[in-house]
Amino acid sequence: MVKVNDNYLKLPGSYLFSTIARKVNAYAAAHPDKRIIRLGIGDVTQPLAPAIISALHTAVDEMADAATFRGYAPDLGYEFLRSAIAENDYKARGCGIEADEIFVSDGAKCDSGNIQEIFSVDNKIAVCDPVYPVYVDTNVMAGRAGSYDPATETWSDVIYMPCTADTDFAPMLPKETPDLIYLCFPNNPTGSAVTKSRLQEWVDYANKVGAVIIYDAAYEAYISEEGIPHSIYECEGARTCAIELHSFSKNAGFTGVRLGYTVVPKELKVGDVSLHALWARRHGTKYNGAPYIVQRAGEAVYSKEGKEQLKKQVAYYMNNAAYILEGLKSAGYTVSGGVNAPYIWLKAPNGMTSWEFFDDLLENANVVGTPGSGFGPSGETYFRLTAFGSYENTVEAIERIKKL
């Protein structure tokens, strides 16, 4: 008699963004006259840059001709893309990451969910609190999180690292020693960043205790200040303790195009076992590569035209971020983030909970954001807005919020 994976049954409710979508859809259905502005899920709104569109069309045409048609992609991704990544995202920043340490995928969400598979179920994970739910939920599914306590909204076997106003929304080294440490900087959801010297402390700590850091760098393109690392491999010793995840969703607007990559350095070993070899095996066995046309689109991200166009696109969103930040500040809100990240983290006003403020904003301003409590208990009373709307919508949303 077949049995299900009981770990799935431990998961409370549904995935955060599905819940939001349901609530918003219900409100929209009941109020068809209201124009809802979505600054919630972190989806981009600007069209793909011309250099990327052009690369896509060219690649589509190649697929129409037997002489240039491409079937299965190489296991790790096409050399042209992996080389462009190694050159631009690493060597240009002084990080010695080679093309064959890069695994091309269909996005950082998948990779951040799948990467735990190569580790033992007995490992203990540490996560920031608040945190991107995928890190925790995928570990729950694997049976690594213990049991859920609805009162505290925490898992018995997960080490939480509170990121609050007291810590500048950055985690402190945990008291209990973890085996796997999930870090995301610039941070989702708080929009905070850490300096290179702070990140170096984490690398040194992981090397000392024999932990592996899963470093999510999905938002690095939004870093505007000096001294903030774009990659964990800027830190000494990271090659022996860190895996880095990258997305093309936010720097190039690929949320609907789907492309990402993961770096597993060849020196990264557990005893004699190469994590690069394990991830290669997982990749080769359970995955069949990102579409050829999408990998060509990824290559265009690193072209001269692509870089210039995307710099403008990021600047467009960061202009929104600045508008949100200033607008909310002037309206008396307590806000952070939005300087090195496209996320603005604000305190719900008047002692409201995160979901109370969500409902208030949806019903009275027709603006959708993300309740901070959805990211973890320390997110309670906080709220996330994203800079990924159009400028016009962003301005209108802030004006509506100011009038509340």
Yes or no: say if 132 and 189 are a contact pair by the CB < 8 Å rule.
yes
By CB under 8 A, tell whether 288 contacts its own copies: yes
By CB under 8 A, tell whether 141 contacts its own copies: yes
Yes or no: say if 212 and 181 are a contact pair by the CB < 8 Å rule.
yes
By CB under 8 A, tell whether 47 contacts its own copies: yes
Nearer to its own copies, 281 or 312 (CB): 281
By CB under 8 A, tell whether 153 contacts its own copies: no
CB within 8 Å of 384: residues ≥ 6 apart: 40, 189, 190, 191, 343, 344, 345, 346, 369, 370, 371, 372, 375
Question: Rounded to an integer, what distance in angstroms lies between the CA atom of residue 385 and that of residue 57?
Answer: 34
Supply the minimum distance, in Å, between the C-beta of residue 390 and its own copies.
Answer: 7
The residue within the footprint of its own copies, chosen from 193, 252, 290, 368 (CB under 8 A), is: 290
Supply the minimum distance, in Å, between the C-beta of residue 64 and its own copies.
Answer: 4
Residue 224 DSSP class = -
Helix (H, G, I), strand (E, B) or coil at 367: strand
Supply the minimum distance, in Å, between the C-beta of residue 1 and its own copies.
Answer: 4
By CB under 8 A, tell whether 331 contacts its own copies: no
Q: Return the number of other C-beta atoms located less than 10 Å from residue 350's C-beta.
A: 8
The residue within the footprint of its own copies, chosen from 25, 92, 172, 284 (CB under 8 A), is: 284
CB within 8 Å of 364: residues ≥ 6 apart: 404
CB within 8 Å of 129: residues ≥ 6 apart: 160, 161, 162, 163, 375, 376, 377, 378, 379
Yes or no: say if 148 and 366 are a contact pair by the CB < 8 Å rule.
no
Nearer to its own copies, 133 or 336 (CB): 133
By CB under 8 A, tell whether 270 contacts its own copies: yes
Supply the minimum distance, in Å, between the C-beta of residue 330 and its own copies.
Answer: 28
Nearer to its own copies, 44 or 348 (CB): 44
Q: Is 160 left (phi over 0), alpha (psi -120 to 50) or beta?
A: beta
Supply the minimum distance, in Å, between the C-beta of residue 6 and its own copies.
Answer: 7
Q: Is 389 left (phi over 0), alpha (psi -120 to 50) or beta?
A: beta
Q: Residue with structure tokens 């402190």? A: 172
Which positions from 245 to 264 touch its own copies by CB under 8 A, shown as an x/- string? --------x-xxxx------
Q: For its own copies, which stretch binds (CB under 8 A), given 137-145, 167-175, 192-200, 353-361? A: 137-145
Nearer to its own copies, 126 or 348 (CB): 126
User: Quick one: which H or E segment has residue 14?
Assistant: none
Q: Residues 1 to 20: which contact its own copies by CB under 8 A? A: 1-6, 8-9, 11, 14-15, 18
By CB under 8 A, tell whether 281 contacts its own copies: yes
Supply the minimum distance, in Å, between the C-beta of residue 34 and its own copies.
Answer: 20
Yes or no: say if 290 and 74 are a contact pair by the CB < 8 Å rule.
no
By CB under 8 A, tell whether 109 contacts its own copies: yes
Supply the minimum distance, in Å, between the C-beta of residue 117 and its own copies.
Answer: 6
Helix (H, G, I), strand (E, B) or coil at 136: helix
Yes or no: say if 224 and 213 are a contact pair by the CB < 8 Å rule.
no
115, β-bridge pairs: none
Supply the minimum distance, in Å, between the C-beta of residue 230 and its own copies.
Answer: 23
Supply the minimum distance, in Å, between the C-beta of residue 87 and its own copies.
Answer: 24
By CB under 8 A, tell whether 173 contacts its own copies: no
By CB under 8 A, tell whether 352 contacts its own copies: no
